[in-house]
Amino acid sequence: MELRDYLAALRRRWLTWAVIFAVSVGTALVAIQTLPRSYQATAQIFVGTTSESTSGFQFVAQRVKSYPDIAESPAVLRPVIDALGLEQSFEEIRRSVSASNPVDTTRVEIAVTSEDPEQAAAVSNSVAERFAETVVDLEKGASEVSPVTLTVTSPATVPTSPVSPVPHLLLALGVVFGLCVGAAVAILRDHTDSTLHTEEQIRRAWGPGGSDLTVLAPASGSARHSRLIGRPAALLARHLQLLAERQPVRVLLLSAGGADAGPRRLATDVANELREAGTSAVVVAAQPDAQPSAPAGQAPLGERLDRVRLSTRTALAPLSDLRLYAGRDAAVVIVVRAGHMHAAELPEIRRMLDALGIEPLSVVLLPARGRRALGVRQTPRGPGDVPLERLTGDRPALEEPVTARA
């Protein structure tokens, strides 16, 4: 797949992408509001030496690396729990305390995390004081003087902002996750979709000779505004106009099936295009010999010679009905609604038409439902146009004849 294929897949599956993105961002916002807030207070302790010699500084530099473990020992934490009257157990306090020795320093930092900012500061300062006393006692050994001194140089203060959750970090994570996962799911869903969406997919599903197949698809980009190539209905109308110059032509718009008003709308729009171009056209019922009723005040249409007579039918229709369009004065146009016809249905329609001796004039690709129909008109353009409410009711698609402009 090329980049344009991925972009086309994302455009077709934008709803999937948007839903996953919205769920991801919504989850992040909920997490920001509901997750418990944790505060962290840090106290700093400087470790010095009682000796002025170089060996004393080297001794401290070597020993200070092992001091952080002492801050988390029972010798330090149990007296703190008792002194502050904490309700938490030793293991809970131990998990909330962390000590570290920054690289190339003789400093020890005591950090305490708690949901209560005041408790975090109190525990951090208490641990720092008890830690300093414990280290001095341990370094004394049998002598009365400890080779090191520990001083709390920066007592912990009550934190004003939580360290977790971090709103902007969670929100950014939700946005990135939603975009990436949403795009991946949308592309995967489109890749596993067996329905037809593009002109290339139609040619591939058609099989041998697909490259020579005439496919009328909605134009993309700024070309969709072109009156010449912007709408498949206008293109199909010009093709039919050329056929109608030689003799009257009966046209069947054949779709796979289902309750889709697209073929009926397309037939009406093609008829209107032909009428505007000066070619008489009418939309009739399924049977090509059906006589549509004339508008009030005009001669019966059965007495007129309409150059183009359009009908709609599904591939589920009896073969006897479809065989009526095998003559030279007839043309069959396959109508494909993007995302509604499976790739396996198109070659089946082809085999059926081949068995009837019918070669389709073209394949018209209509946009998927919910998108602006680039192939058919959305509203009538004049009093003679067919009202679209006649085409979208609950009655069957071809229950009664429908006329285009008089």
CATH of the domain at 123: 3.30.70.1130
Specify if 44 maps to a domain. yes
Q: Are residues 75 and 103 in the same domain?
A: yes
What is the per-residue pLDDT across 320-339, written as a single tens digit (0 to 9) for each?
888 889 888 899 999 998 88
Instruction: State the average pLDDT over residues 263-285.
Output: 90
Dmax (CA) of the chain = 127
Dist. CA 128–CA 122, nearest whole Å: 10
In this structure, are residues 60 and 150 in contact, taking their beta carbons and an 8 Å threshold?
no
Grade residue 28 by pLDDT with cuts at 50, 70 and 90.
very high
Q: Are residues 247 and 344 in the same domain?
A: yes
Q: Is the pLDDT of residue 76 over 60?
A: yes
Dist. CA 365–CA 29, nearest whole Å: 42
- Residues of the domain holding 185: 3-35+165-192
Instruction: State the average pLDDT over residues 103-127.
Output: 92
Q: Are residues 30 and 45 in the same domain?
A: no
Q: Are residues 64 and 205 in the same domain?
A: no
In this structure, are residues 311 and 267 in contact, taking their beta carbons and an 8 Å threshold?
yes
Q: Are residues 264 and 326 in the same domain?
A: yes
Specify if 404 maps to a domain. no
Indicate the average pLDDT of the chain.
81
Grade residue 371 by pLDDT with cuts at 50, 70 and 90.
very low
- With DSSP H G I counted as helix, E B as strand and the rest as coil, what are the percentages for the chain, rounded to 5? 45, 15, 40
Instruction: State the average pLDDT over residues 40-49.
Output: 91
Q: Are residues 107 and 185 in the same domain?
A: no
Strands 107-114, 215-216: pairing is unpaired
Q: How many domains would you assign to the chain?
A: 3
Specify if 74 maps to a domain. yes
Q: Are residues 278 and 209 in the same domain?
A: yes
Grade residue 80 by pLDDT with cuts at 50, 70 and 90.
very high
Q: How far apart are the first and last CA of the chain?
A: 49
Grade residue 53 by pLDDT with cuts at 50, 70 and 90.
low
Q: Are residues 45 and 31 in the same domain?
A: no
The more confidently predicted of residues 26 and 198 is 26
Specify if 380 maps to a domain. no
Q: Is the pLDDT of residue 377 over 90?
A: no
Q: Are residues 63 and 137 in the same domain?
A: yes
Q: Are residues 256 and 317 in the same domain?
A: yes
What pLDDT was estimated at residue 63?
86
Q: Are residues 47 and 10 in the same domain?
A: no
Percent above pLDDT 90 for the chain: 42
CATH number (domain holding residue 238): 3.40.50.300
According to DSSP, the residues that pair with 249 across neighbouring strands are 308
Specify if 396 maps to a domain. no
Q: Is the pLDDT of residue 27 over 70?
A: yes
Instruction: State the average pLDDT over residues 113-140.
Output: 92
Q: Are residues 26 and 45 in the same domain?
A: no
Could you tell me which of 88, 95, 152 has the C-alpha nearest to residue 119?
Answer: 88
Dist. CA 71–CA 135, nearest whole Å: 9
Grade residue 9 by pLDDT with cuts at 50, 70 and 90.
confident
Instruction: State the average pLDDT over residues 377-401.
Output: 38
- Tell me how far the alpha carbon of residue 37 is from its chain's centroid: 32
What pLDDT was estimated at residue 142?
65
Contacts of 44 (CB under 8 A, 6+ apart): 107, 108, 109, 110, 152, 153, 154
